[in-house]
Structure 1
């Protein structure tokens, strides 16, 4: 209401174990999205609002946030990159531009890593990755998967040491970045959203997604 928006159509609800998402029509072709995340991702609203201040143009600016509840009301900045890919060719230059913009955002946020952690975003520095792997050893895994993880541990330690030696500071990692989490409103322009799985980590880990 503070933004002069009024629901004008039916709500579309998507329920998932990790979130509740509502799409509301607000007149014409306009729409807004309401998201409620789980306790583990309750930081998302506050993080989204902070990112809109720190790296405007790279992320959505929320219409409203209830940080205590982990609720967010977000504008629609479509189309999704996934929808664009389904209807028209996207060349290597577009992918390069997407990665450049994402990397530029991560670089700009390196000095904010401590502030991001204070918002409740988990920190997983390269040196702690082996501990994360060790915790999986108590998870309900098959004997085959458990053996594979244990076999991987020495290699993981080497990889983490190699990353640490590069001296690249930790930054925000989306940790679930794919073509359904990026708006492409125009060629060469990308907007990143949905930060409920984010971590503070070695930024090169994004390259594995």
Structure 2
């Protein structure tokens, strides 16, 4: 199913009726009664989200695009493994990529650097516990993208984009492809530093943004939206929350920024039994680049249909991610 097919389906009256029936049945099975009209929050090429008012609080319905269809099953497993950090879904239909979630309250937009340092510290501890849970997470559909695969990933995708027609929105020009491919040795160097580090691969949320993080001061943070996640080097998880809180999204953060340093320090302190702080800090920049490749692959799996990339300039441009990950802050 192409991106446009998915969007047309979500916009159809037939899908709306069918989804409404599923939502009402799922709410009833949890002893909830709808108390008002359901409201569509967004319809984007990666998901459709609907707000559902009930007599026991709001629910949130989400149906994922095929490229992220594993998310409901993954959320269920994470809620079993880490109930303090992931809420148990009210209902899941893994085959359809659907999930119904309870409301988590107010997210962490606008919180200060010190509080975010505590949040990422909790995220580090979560990752350490989940490092032993590869099999259940993989069985739920969590993709893997190890640091050691970075150079090959860049090589293969750059050549694929270069071979697209020049008119294609995702086309990589000869000049840009030459520039990206000339940096493969550099990519291999920084990715091998990550792979050789004493930090084991684990759950990498890949979108632990302020909008997706919930919790009051003094409580354990909770996360939603795991459709971008990977099994990979954990330090890549810092790129989204720190870049967004320091205003350097999508290619940041700048590790010389004092705000970025304050937040990152809270995270790195949790790994001090693995290596000294100086060695851990040396992994931040390679991890930032790895995170950009994770985002690139997340977009690719959404835009790729049976080997054909969607040709739409309004979609994320994969070549920008390759250029940024291989050395340039701004493509």
Q: Whose helix proportion is higher, 1 or 2?
A: 2
User: Measured at CA, do residues 161 and 22 of structure 1 come closer, stay the same or move farther in structure 2, by a change above 3 Å?
Assistant: same
Partner of 1:163: 194
Partner of 2:84: 57
Larger Rg: 2
Match of 2:61 among 4, 27, 34: 34
User: Measured at CA, do residues 110 and 152 of structure 1 come closer, stay the same or move farther in structure 2, by a change above 3 Å?
Assistant: same
Give runs of aligned pairs for residues 107-122 of structure 1, distance below 5 A: 107-122=128-143
Match of 2:52 among 24, 28, 31: 24
The CA distance in 2 between the partners of 1:105 and 1:201, in whole Å, is 14
Q: What CA RMSD, in Å, does the superposition of the two structures yield over aligned residues?
A: 1.6
**Residues 122 and 199 of structure 1 are in contact (CA less than 8 Å); yes or no, is this contact kept in structure 2?**
yes
Partner of 1:103: 124
Which structure ranks higher in relative contact order (CA pairs < 8 Å, sequence separation ≥ 6)? 1
The SS at the match of 2:214 is strand
User: Measured at CA, do residues 23 and 135 of structure 1 come closer, stay the same or move farther in structure 2, by a change above 3 Å?
Assistant: farther
Match of 1:91 among 109, 112, 131: 112
Unpaired runs of at least 5, structure 2: 1-27, 162-170, 241-331
Using structure 1 for the length normalisation, give the TM-score.
0.89
Shift of 1:18: 0.7
The CA distance in 2 between the partners of 1:155 and 1:206, in whole Å, is 21
**Residues 97 and 188 of structure 1 are in contact (CA less than 8 Å); yes or no, is this contact kept in structure 2?**
no
* 1:4-42 Cα distance to aligned partner (Å, 9 max, x none): 2122122221100011111111137x2100111112211
Unpaired runs of at least 5, structure 1: none
Match of 2:36 among 9, 28, 42: 9
Partner of 2:211: 180
The SS at the match of 2:182 is helix
* 1:110-140 Cα distance to aligned partner (Å, 9 max, x none): 0112321222221101111222212321122
The SS at the match of 1:68 is helix
